[in-house]
Amino acid sequence: MGIYGHNPDAAALAKRGIVVPETNFGDPLEGDFERMARRRFQNPKPFREGNWWWINPWQDVIKEGRLTRKRKRMKVAPATLSDREAKKIAAEMLRPMNQGLECIGSAMLFGAYIEGTYRSAALPLLASTTRDNYEYVLGRYLLPMFSNTSLRDLSTLTLQRYFSSLKVSHTSASKIRDVLASVMGSAVRFGVVVKNPLTGVQLVPSRTGKKTKPTITPEQFHELVDLIAEPYSTMVYSCVLTGLRISELLALKWEDVHLDSITIDERYCRGDWACPKTNASGATIGVDESVIQRIQRLKDMEVTINWGARGAQKTFKLVSSDAPHDLVFQSLRKGAPMSDHNILTRHLKPAGRKLGIGYVNWQVLRRSYATWLVQAGADPKAVQGLMRHSRIGTTMDIYAQFVPESQRRAVVQMTEMVNERQKMAAEAKSAAIN
């Protein structure tokens, strides 16, 4: 009976090579899929006009919030090429569209994507200070340049030309690239574009070499601590001898301070509370007992400050409450988190200027801690753990600013050899004259 059973009509149709009606119309959406396929695949014939071959394919565009299609005139190749070569080039130009590698959303303008999607969906996930920096870069550089450019037109070549022509420092160009990478990376995550065109884009090489990052010496550290008033003096002391970031120091609570260690599980930066910077950053680290003693000493200390317009003074306790969930370093008036910027500009930098220290900030203090550890002969892996870095390269290449003792010995030996040769030459010259 065969696969058609007792249906002679179906068997007859099969013999004539005709598909049975049930197979042809079993899926009511099949016609829609066929129309979509026909609508997507394009193979326009190139035509000569002037000195070039051209094509006029259909492209999706978003106009007044609605998706429409319009013809786009595209230059293919010089007219000197043959018709066959022009067709090959045209097919390659349309390949992303024909293979579905170009999303419909990629027709959206860069400015519209920033306003409608990036600012509401991606930007709020960043820290407030990062958001402010990104908004500045967007308004100053990216939106004026690409606001009316569709996302699909931001090709790797287009972006490379933009960065190659930028008349800014290498540091500024790097920041612009970071912001654009955030924007295009979010577009990939949200399915607006298929591929991040920034991949492969290179910056113009920096014209300045790698500079040694500043640190302070142990002697300068003690002078700073003696010159700065409490509780900021203890903050500087703790920051240097623990290697904590200032955001981690501001978020430190009494429950995090132990007999010989400190736990880092939060950070606070200019209004934002967050978890530690990386997985490695959240840890309990060992600290010297002098740090713990100095922190505990704050509970019994008071400070008198000017209060009111007539020069009146008022006395505050440095620690108004030391419950487990209270902050170690509290603002004097409300017990709220302190401002790292205010402490830096009002206390740390003025003290550095008085001591003749060229440049000092919270990062310099943390970097000094890593440098001193290496100079004291600490194992690099132990330094990495105390700095709470995910990679040891970050610790040794960026934070530990030092010259190895072996290099110092080599320089001394070379200098002694040069001086000895000079002395011998002088003696030989003197003997010849005599």
Q: Are residues 239 and 388 in the same domain?
A: yes
Q: Are residues 158 and 177 in the same domain?
A: yes
Structural domain range at position 148 = 107-189
> Is residue 26 assigned to a domain?
yes
- The DSSP bridge partners found for residue 274 are 267
> Is residue 2 assigned to a domain?
no
Q: Are residues 169 and 223 in the same domain?
A: no
User: Which pLDDT does position 13 carry in this prediction?
Assistant: 42
User: Which pLDDT does position 22 carry in this prediction?
Assistant: 40
* 434: CB partners within 8 A, 6+ apart: none
| CATH assignment of the domain containing 170 | 1.10.150
Q: Are residues 253 and 316 in the same domain?
A: yes
Structural domain ending residue among the three candidates 73, 98, 123 = 98
User: Angle CA(90)–CA(94)–CA(99) in degrees, nearest 5?
Assistant: 140
User: Which pLDDT does position 15 carry in this prediction?
Assistant: 46
User: Which pLDDT does position 62 carry in this prediction?
Assistant: 59
CA distances from 33 to 26, 37, 228 (A): 13, 6, 74
Q: For residues 242 and 291, is the Cβ–Cβ distance under 8 A?
A: yes
| CATH assignment of the domain containing 237 | 1.10.443.10
CA distances from 328 to 177, 277, 421 (A): 38, 20, 61
User: Which pLDDT does position 304 carry in this prediction?
Assistant: 84
User: Which pLDDT does position 398 carry in this prediction?
Assistant: 52
Locate 414 and state its tokens: 């070379």
* 423: CB partners within 8 A, 6+ apart: none
Q: Are residues 55 and 125 in the same domain?
A: no
User: Which pLDDT does position 40 carry in this prediction?
Assistant: 64
Q: Are residues 247 and 360 in the same domain?
A: yes
**DSSP label at residue 39:** H
CA distances from 95 to 40, 57, 67, 150 (A): 11, 12, 21, 18
Structural domain ending residue among the three candidates 63, 98, 133 = 98
> Is residue 206 assigned to a domain?
no
- Total domain count, the chain: 4
User: Which pLDDT does position 412 carry in this prediction?
Assistant: 67
Q: Are residues 93 and 155 in the same domain?
A: no
Structural domain ending residue among the three candidates 50, 69, 98 = 98
> Is residue 202 assigned to a domain?
no
Alpha carbon dihedral 249, 254, 260, 266, in 10-degree steps, equals -40
Alpha carbon dihedral 218, 222, 228, 234, in 10-degree steps, equals 90
User: Which pLDDT does position 276 carry in this prediction?
Assistant: 86
pLDDT tens for each residue of 365-413: 988 888 888 777 777 778 788 888 777 666 665 555 554 555 556 666 7
User: Which pLDDT does position 374 carry in this prediction?
Assistant: 79
Query: For the residues of 243-277, what is the DSSP string, one character each?
Result: ---HHHHHT-BGGGB-SSEEEE--EEETTEEE--S
User: Angle CA(186)–CA(190)–CA(196) in degrees, nearest 5?
Assistant: 50
Q: Are residues 181 and 313 in the same domain?
A: no
Q: Are residues 146 and 181 in the same domain?
A: yes
> Is residue 197 assigned to a domain?
no
What's the full length of the chain, in residues?
A: 434
Q: Burial, 62: exposed, middle or buried (Cβ in 10 Å; 0-12, 13-18, 19+)?
A: middle
Q: Are residues 73 and 121 in the same domain?
A: no
Alpha carbons 278 and 275: distance in angstroms, whole number: 8
Q: Are residues 310 and 395 in the same domain?
A: yes
User: Which pLDDT does position 36 carry in this prediction?
Assistant: 41
* 264: CB partners within 8 A, 6+ apart: 244, 248, 252, 256, 276, 281, 282, 283, 284, 285, 388
Q: Are residues 87 and 151 in the same domain?
A: no
Alpha carbons 253 and 324: distance in angstroms, whole number: 7
Closest to 188 in 3D by CA, of 223, 239, 152? 152
> Is residue 246 assigned to a domain?
yes
- As a whole number of Å, the CA-based R_g of the chain is 34
> Is residue 341 assigned to a domain?
yes
Please identify every stretch of the chain with a pLDDT value under 70, giving residue numbers as ranges.
1-40, 60-67, 96-107, 209-210, 308-309, 392-412, 414-415
> Is residue 194 assigned to a domain?
no
Model-wide pTM > 0.85: no
β-pairing verdict for 52-55 and 74-78: antiparallel
